[in-house]
Amino acid sequence: MSPVIIAIDGPAASGKSSTARAVAAGLGFRHLDSGALYRGVTLAAVRAGLPRPFYAADVVAEAERWGVDLRPRNGDFEVVAMEPVPDASLRAAVVTEHVSEIAALAEVRGWVNEHLRGAALVGEAVVVDGRDIGSVVFPEAQLKVYLTASPAARAGRRLRQRGEAVDPEQLRVETEALAARDRADSSRAVAPLVQAPDAVALDTSDLSFEEQVERIRWLARDRGLAIHD
């Protein structure tokens, strides 16, 4: 039986991963964070000391050599490189610095997509978040949500998340950084960030976290996708 898939895409800091995790927990689905796998591949490339610019074939070879993969765990999947990779390593500054360049390589995207599809088969019912999940990886997803929020709203959330001051200057700098990442993600040649034509757009600028999670759970229930609720 083909798995039930809810795809949640959107720009940086739109709250995709935390929203996807909460939606999955509420519906009894497994959460699959595609960005985490791009980070795992990037970590392997960095640990291997690959020189820049990165070449796709070398990056894929290192991902294979380090045994980068997704392994089912309670309620989600963990990134492994033979051993489980701690979240702190996936989110280390050096990984964040290089992951966009690596995620722009077509052959790397093909490798990641294969692993995401394999994981979904194990998961049976998954909420997958990323940039191209509804448009490229799982075009057959039963529900596709495109999360948006104004750059200023996303910048404010990110600063609060980091426990930093939300003064006008900080907000301006963070808003500009996010707008630059949006431009990079939306203009890259391979699998740019786009809203799939059949995705439901959800602007969360004025929604609380609980409200945005509830909207998506409502959409899932409306389509008869909830396992338990």
Q: Which positions touch ligand DC (CB under 6 A)?
A: 34-35, 38-39, 99-100, 103, 130-133
The secondary structure of 90-139, three-state, reads: HCCHHHHHHHHHHHCCHHHHHHHHHHHHHHHHHHCEEEEEECCHHHHHCC
| Least Å from the CB of residue 109 to ligand DC | 7
Closest CB to ligand DC among residues 11, 26? 11
| Nearest Cα residue to 157 out of 167, 169, 166, 145 | 166
Closest CB to ligand DC among residues 103, 143? 103
| Least Å from the CB of residue 65 to ligand DC | 21
- DSSP letter string, 22-62: HHHHHHTPEEEEHHHHHHHHHHHHHHTTPPSSPPHHHHHHH
| Least Å from the CB of residue 146 to ligand DC | 13
| Least Å from the CB of residue 100 to ligand DC | 4
Closest CB to ligand DC among residues 9, 229? 9
| Least Å from the CB of residue 49 to ligand DC | 21
In angstroms and rounded to an integer, the radius of gyration of the C-alpha atoms of the chain is: 17
Closest CB to ligand DC among residues 184, 226? 184
| Least Å from the CB of residue 206 to ligand DC | 23
Distances (CA, A) of 47 to 43, 65, 94, 95, 170: 6, 11, 10, 10, 33
Closest CB to ligand DC among residues 101, 226? 101
- What single DSSP character describes residue 223? T
Closest CB to ligand DC among residues 21, 226? 21
From CA 192, how far away is CA 195, in angstroms rounded?
10
From CA 172, how far away is CA 46, in angstroms rounded?
31
